[in-house]
Structure 1
Amino acid sequence: MSTPVLETENLVKVYGRGAARFDALKGLTFEIHDGESVAIVGKSGSGKSTLMHLLALLDEPTAGVVALEGSPVSQLDPKKVSRLRNETFGFVFQQFFLNANQSVLDNVTLPLKIGGWGRSQRNERGMEVLEQLEIADKAKNRATDLSGGQKQRVCIARALVNRPSVIFADEPTGNLDSATSEVVEDILFGLHRDQGITLVVVTHDEELAGRCERRLHMQDGLIVAEEHGVITPGQLDTTFDPAQLGLEDEEDRA
């Protein structure tokens, strides 16, 4: 088994207090190994996006541990955490989060600017990933002038620019039509296959999740089931029931 790139132990996230208290995560312990493709699957409110934000060091747990390559992140100061996040992770979001009036190249190279790279180095590396994703001809365009599929390619280029070991993709095809979604998925899984990048996909799309080697099914802040193996569309059962994997009751799920 490969080295765990990310680990959690009894991970808890609570919002609010008293009557307004909401337990978003209820003590999760699991590992994500180097080079894996993992889907975190669940309905809205299941805790999947909260979990991604903790794994990606975008938020802090109420209790429990997130460890990156064996080192607990909670023991690090905020500046070190920010540097680790910028150097280790790439992000692809449903909403793109591009600066609409900046050029494509400037959007792509933002992580390098944050990391202190000089302009010429940033631009050289930015053009490399734009060429890799076959969108280098749009480098000088404003992000607002792109189609949805082109914007998502720019987001993937931005995720790749710092040569991350892990890419987090949060509903990466949620705003795209089916044909464009398939192209974006092929790019992400191609990067996983060809470059060994660990891919963590957060989605409610069972078909997208089925392309991952492992699926963590979430419900009410718990991982209620785990599946292994890639599922082809013809094998997909969209009526997933945790009881099918022997998790019939709450005692089993805890």
Structure 2
Amino acid sequence: MIEDGATERGSVTTVRRIGETIRRPVGEWTPSVHALLAHLEAARFTRAPRPLGVDGTDEVLSLLHGEPAFGPWPAKLRSTAGVVELGRWLRDYHDAVRDFRPPAGARWRGQEEEWRPGMVIRHGDLGPWNSIWDGDRLVGFIDWDFAAPGHALDDLAQLAWYAVPLRSVEKQRRAAVTGGHVLRTRLDALCAAYGAEPTAVLDALEALQSREAERIERLGGLGQEPWATFLARGDVAEMAAERSWLRSQRAALRALPAGR
């Protein structure tokens, strides 16, 4: 966990801890994200930061105590029980956000669609690096800057992409989770915990990967950050490789006997 008074720079933003708070640079999306987080607090959804206002050029959020899951992942996340906990967290989040109505004129970072009934506000960056763990307990998810209107299934697809993980063998090894049978078991467990069919999640993931590659090319080409950085570092080619991997493995993921 980041130490009191320390500053950490990630691939997208810089955060600083002061006491029991986290400070991050504000953006035009900050009021919308704070409205979302305030709604979650009112709904007694405790596994997300609480918005504590703005201090100059920084937003102020409550600190979630624990460690982010960088590779190799902690033992709990490498277990089936870990992905079950992720699926339950996402189910609880979507239940809590279902009746949230964005404020008039809401702005969201990299927004692709206007909110309409039937949508939720997606977290938008559901990778293990944003999950906070206290030992074997999932504390919650941080980094809500990419929250935006979308479809609930896309959140689940993104979580499956990064947390099963439905990625190349190299990425599996970095997480210390490998093997087609293991991936099938983890995908099934995640979907069962959330309440969705794995085939629907795989369909959503293929579409999500295509949209994300297109967004990096479009917004990155316009010089809009962080997509310009993503474009420059080769994320479009990496995304194409990940889509190719998913297509090549999809039949096997559904045909393998889970857990064997």
- TM-score range with shorter-chain normalisation? under 0.3
TM-score for both structures, normalised by structure 2: 0.23
Q: Give the structure with the larger strand fraction.
A: 1
With CA pairs under 8 Å and 6+ residues apart, which has the higher RCO, 1 or 2? 1
* TM-score w.r.t. length of structure 1: 0.23
